[in-house]
């Protein structure tokens, strides 16, 4: 049975928990760019503080811990990914695995704290409401022009780099706030008169009235900015979460049965109209941003094909983007595809479906375990009516359409909501579990030291490289070539660094070394520019056949881009293959890209001069 410590110890621990949770989430939300920043180090320090605090809670409360279904699935998932990390390593696997280690440490610490002191969940719920209020306030100021967004193409981003992740944070917080209002609605009676409010004790105000008021404010403010984000995934996630909440709070199923028995025909007609209305709303949401929706459908198709090609162990964590580029090139090379698909093909860093991406990286086993983790946690919390359960449901729905676990604040939010689960207890920790738990927490802190040192090295290398990479604007690519080897080990999982470094080597004439770096980038990126620059390197080395294959592969990756064909036509021209040069130039000129640009028109104009000569005649550059 859990021991209740003295209030002089209980409340300082609660205060320290709020402080640690604050430094976990607040710095993570300060993410104006998508690149690696120092905010990850602050979240790591907060993770270590929460781990140490979990040990303090355990020693003070001595709770009897149980391993539930979600815990077992999480342990199996960690073991599965760990095996894949070392059996099939990749350049970016270390970064992805370190993200998973931080999530595992945070999950274990929060599970112990929540089990020892249940009120910490209420404190964390209120903190989420406060952060939701702040993010909504920032978004409102951006909408009306009183604050600048972090993206030049979008008016509202909050403190994040894109309206997508911003909406991905706002939607679960809105659902949690609505669930908080429903759970603490008994506080409404205390707020009717000032006299009844004055008679309440401080504990009732803190644990009952405060969550109710914060929930109302957070729900009202977040629901205002959510439609302005124009994120359909977030709107669907919020609708599903609120729908599940309404079913439980208002007993929709029981009321529907009662009304249906009384008026079956009327209810049947209204239900049919409701289904048609939902179908119309879905069709409208699809056509509002149809190219985006078709692009995601194509990405999901490629994700599935990657998983089918590597069904057992996947392509390896961190290797998704490289496998995506290869699979998409194979997809378009196999047969003629509809123009709608070729126009929406891109080079994404993520799969825009976390479950499919996990399956592509870790195989069917990882996908099944992730579904079991998420599903068991959601079911157990919805049965209890916990606000975290509805928020976790919204996060899971949003993860089906976006990339929340690739963004630090959304990944931490998912772990926080997941740790609040209390599914059916099945395996109690043995009698000497105190020693086991403390040793496990000590092991987490030992792992944290290595984790923090690796992240610190990456952050510092990224900061220094961002200062160096401005020199190409002045034509000084030799500076990048000089400093590239120094940062290669720390940034070998960053495709942006590999491209900058490889391109600098190309510009300075180190063609073979450039191709070595570019090949590393091809393994972790789906951007065809790696293949374009590699083709130019082969061309400069005199390997025309390899250059031709590189340009063709780059074109198959994204058929809507004409730059690879432009380079290919120039290659044929320089090699004296006039027939092929003429045919390729015709393809470039006849092609109508989805988005025209000045560069595209310049390439087409240059190749039009090629068509002025007969295909069998001599063509000069």
pLDDT band at 192 (very low <50, low <70, confident <90, very high): low
- Phi, psi for 29 (deg, rounded to 5): -75, -20
CA pseudo-torsion sign 140, 244, 169, 359: negative
The pTM for the full model equals 0.89
- Under 8 Å between Cβ of 125 and 71: no
Using only the alpha carbons of the chain, give its radius of gyration: 28
572 pLDDT higher than 60: yes
pLDDT 10s digits, 209-242: 788 889 999 999 999 999 998 888 999 999 999 9
Average pLDDT score over residue span 426-446: 73
Give the pLDDT band of residue 200 (cuts 50, 70, 90): low
Q: What is the mean pLDDT of residues 294-311?
A: 90
Q: What is the pLDDT of residue 206?
A: 64
Q: pLDDT tier at 154 (50, 70, 90 boundaries)?
A: confident
- Mapping DSSP onto H, E and C, the string for 305-320 reads HHHHHCCCCCCCCCCH
**In sequence order, what are the residues at sequence separation of 6 or more whose Cβ sits closer than 8 angstroms to the Cβ of residue 218?**
128, 129, 130, 132, 133, 136, 173, 174, 177, 180
Confidence at residue 47, expressed as pLDDT on a 0 to 100 scale:
92
Percent of the chain as helix, strand, coil, to the nearest 5: 75, 0, 20
Three-class SS state of 565: helix
**pLDDT exceeds 50 at position 621:** no
Q: Which residue has the higher pLDDT, 150 or 415?
A: 415
Q: How confident is residue 617, by pLDDT bands cut at 50, 70 and 90?
A: very low
Q: What is the pLDDT of residue 203?
A: 57
More confident residue, 197 or 558: 558
Taking the alpha carbons of 340, 343, 347, 350 in that order, is the dihedral positive or negative? negative
Q: How far apart are CA 274 and CA 288, in angstroms?
A: 21
Residue given tokens 């008169």 in the structure block: 193
Mean of the pLDDT values across residues 200-213? Answer: 69
- Structural domain boundaries in the chain: 552-621
According to the model, what pLDDT value does residue 585 have? 87
pLDDT at 616 over 60: no
Most confident region among 63-72, 175-184, 432-441, 550-559 by mean pLDDT: 550-559
Mean of pLDDT values over 475-490: 88
Q: Determine the average pLDDT of the residues in 303-329.
A: 90
How crowded is residue 595: how many other Cβ atoms within 10 Å of its Cβ? Answer: 8
Q: Is residue 74 very low, low, confident or very high in pLDDT (cuts 50, 70, 90)?
A: very high
> Residue 77: CB partners within 8 Å, gap ≥ 6?
366, 369, 370, 373
Lowest-confidence pick of 212-221, 420-429, 460-469: 420-429
Per-residue pLDDT tens for 372-420? 999 999 988 888 878 899 999 999 999 999 888 888 999 999 999 999 8
pLDDT at 432 over 70: no
Given a cut of 70, is residue 594 above it in pLDDT? yes
What pLDDT does 80 receive? 93
Residue 199 clears pLDDT 60, i.e. is over it: no
- pLDDT > 70 in the chain, percent: 89
- Give the range with max mean pLDDT: 56-70, 355-369, 438-452, 602-616: 355-369
**Bridge partners, residue 427, by sequence:** 67
**CA-to-CA distance for 585 and 570, rounded, in angstroms?**
9
pLDDT at 278 over 80: no
The model's confidence at residue 620, banded by pLDDT at 50, 70 and 90, is very low
Q: Give the per-residue pLDDT at 277.
A: 80
Assess whether pLDDT exceeds 90 at residue 281: no
The predicted pLDDT at position 513 comes to 94
pLDDT at 336: 81
- In angstroms, the CA 240 to CA 223 distance is 14
Taking alpha carbons only, the member of 611, 608, 609, 546 closest to residue 575 is: 546
Residue 551's pLDDT is 94
How high is the pLDDT of residue 539? 92
* pLDDT confidence tier of residue 2, bands split at 50, 70 and 90: low
pLDDT score recorded for residue 429: 59
pLDDT at position 4, please? 65
Average pLDDT on 580-594 reads 84
For range 602-615, the mean pLDDT: 74
| Higher-scoring residue by pLDDT: 150, 326 | 326
User: Can you tell me the distance from the alpha carbon of 79 to that of 56, in angstroms, rounded to the nearest whole number?
Assistant: 27
- pLDDT value of residue 287: 66
Q: Which long-range contacts (CB under 8 A, 24 or more apart) does 7-13 make?
A: 9/60, 10/60, 10/117, 13/53, 13/56, 13/57, 13/60, 13/117
pLDDT confidence of 529, banded at 50, 70, 90?
A: very high
Mean pLDDT value across residues 584-605? 82
CA–CA separation, 104 and 444 (whole Å): 9
Task: Render pLDDT for 180-191 as a digit per residue (tens, 0 to 9).
Answer: 888 877 666 656
**pLDDT value at residue 615:** 46
**Is the predicted pLDDT of residue 53 greater than 80, yes or no?**
yes
Highest mean pLDDT (candidates 62-71, 124-133, 143-152)? 124-133
* pLDDT at res. 273: 82
CA distances to 67, 172, 394, 405, 416 from 421, in Å: 11, 16, 15, 19, 10
């Amino acid at each position: 049975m859990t021991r209740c410590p003295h209030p002089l110890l209980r409340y300082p621990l609660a205060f320290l928990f709020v402080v640690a949770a604050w430094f976990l989430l607040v710095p993570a939300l300060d993410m104006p760019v998508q690149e690696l920043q120092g905010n990850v180090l602050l979240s790591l320090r907060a993770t270590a503080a929460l781990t140490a605090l979990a040990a303090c809670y355990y020693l003070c409360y001595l709770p009897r811990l149980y391993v539930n279904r979600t815990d077992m699935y999480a342990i199996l998932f960690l073991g599965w990914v760990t095996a894949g990390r070392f059996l099939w390593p990749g350049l970016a696997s270390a970064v992805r695995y370190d993200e998973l280690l931080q999530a595992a440490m945070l999950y274990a610490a929060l599970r112990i704290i929540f089990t020892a002191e249940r009120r910490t969940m209420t404190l964390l719920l209120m903190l989420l409401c406060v952060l939701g209020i702040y993010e909504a306030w920032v978004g409102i100021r951006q909408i009306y022009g009183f604050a600048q967004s972090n993206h030049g193409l979008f008016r509202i981003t909050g403190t994040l780099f894109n309206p997508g992740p911003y909406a991905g944070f706002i939607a679960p917080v809105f659902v949690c706030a609505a669930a908080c209002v429903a759970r603490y609605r008994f506080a409404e009676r205390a707020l009717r008169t000032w006299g009844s409010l004055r008679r309440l004790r401080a504990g009732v105000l803190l644990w009952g009235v405060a969550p109710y008021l914060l929930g109302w404010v957070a729900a009202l403010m977040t629901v205002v900015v959510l439609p302005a984000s124009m994120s359909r995934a977030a709107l669907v996630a919020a609708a599903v979460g609120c729908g599940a909440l309404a079913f439980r709070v208002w007993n929709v199923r029981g009321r529907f049965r009662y009304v249906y028995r009384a008026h079956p025909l009327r209810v049947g007609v209204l239900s049919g109209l409701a289904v048609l209305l939902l179908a119309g709303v879905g069709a409208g949401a699809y056509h509002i941003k149809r190219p985006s929706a078709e692009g995601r459908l194509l990405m999901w198709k490629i994700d599935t094909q990657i998983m089918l090609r590597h069904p057992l162990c996947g392509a390896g964590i961190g290797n998704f983007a490289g496998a995506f580029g290869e699979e998409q090139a194979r997809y378009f090379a196999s047969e003629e595809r509809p123009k709608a698909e070729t126009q929406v093909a891109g080079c994404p860093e993520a799969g825009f479906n976390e479950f499919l991406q996990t399956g592509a990286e870790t195989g069917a086993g990882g996908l099944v375990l992730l579904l079991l983790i998420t599903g068991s946690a959601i079911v157990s919390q919805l049965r209890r009516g916990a606000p975290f359960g509805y928020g976790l449901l919204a996060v899971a729905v949003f993860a089906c359409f976006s990339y929340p676990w690739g963004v630090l604040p959304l990944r931490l939010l998912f772990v926080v909501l997941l740790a609040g689960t209390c599914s059916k207890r099945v395996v109690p920790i043995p009698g000497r579990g105190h020693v086991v738990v403390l040793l496990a927490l000590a092991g987490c802190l030992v792992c944290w030291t290595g984790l923090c040192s690796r992240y610190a090295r990456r952050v510092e290398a990224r900061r220094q490289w961002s200062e160096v990479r401005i020199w190409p604007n002045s034509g000084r690519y030799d500076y990048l070539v000089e400093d590239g080897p120094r940062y290669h080990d720390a940034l070998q999982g960053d495709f942006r660094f590999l491209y900058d470094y490889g391109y600098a080597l190309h510009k300075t004439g180190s063609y073979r070394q450039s191709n070595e770096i570019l090949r590393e980038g091809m393994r972790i990126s789906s951007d065809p520019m790696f293949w374009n620059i590699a083709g130019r390197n082969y061309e400069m080395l005199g390997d025309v056949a390899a250059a031709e294959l590189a340009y063709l592969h780059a074109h198959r990756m994204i058929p809507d881009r004409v730059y690879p064909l432009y380079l290919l036509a120039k290659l044929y021209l320089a090699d004296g293959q006039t027939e092929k040069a003429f045919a390729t130039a015709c393809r470039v000129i006849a092609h109508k890209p989805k988005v025209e640009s000045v560069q595209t028109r310049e390439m087409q104009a240059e190749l039009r001069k090629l068509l002025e000569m007969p295909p069998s005649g001599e063509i000069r550059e």
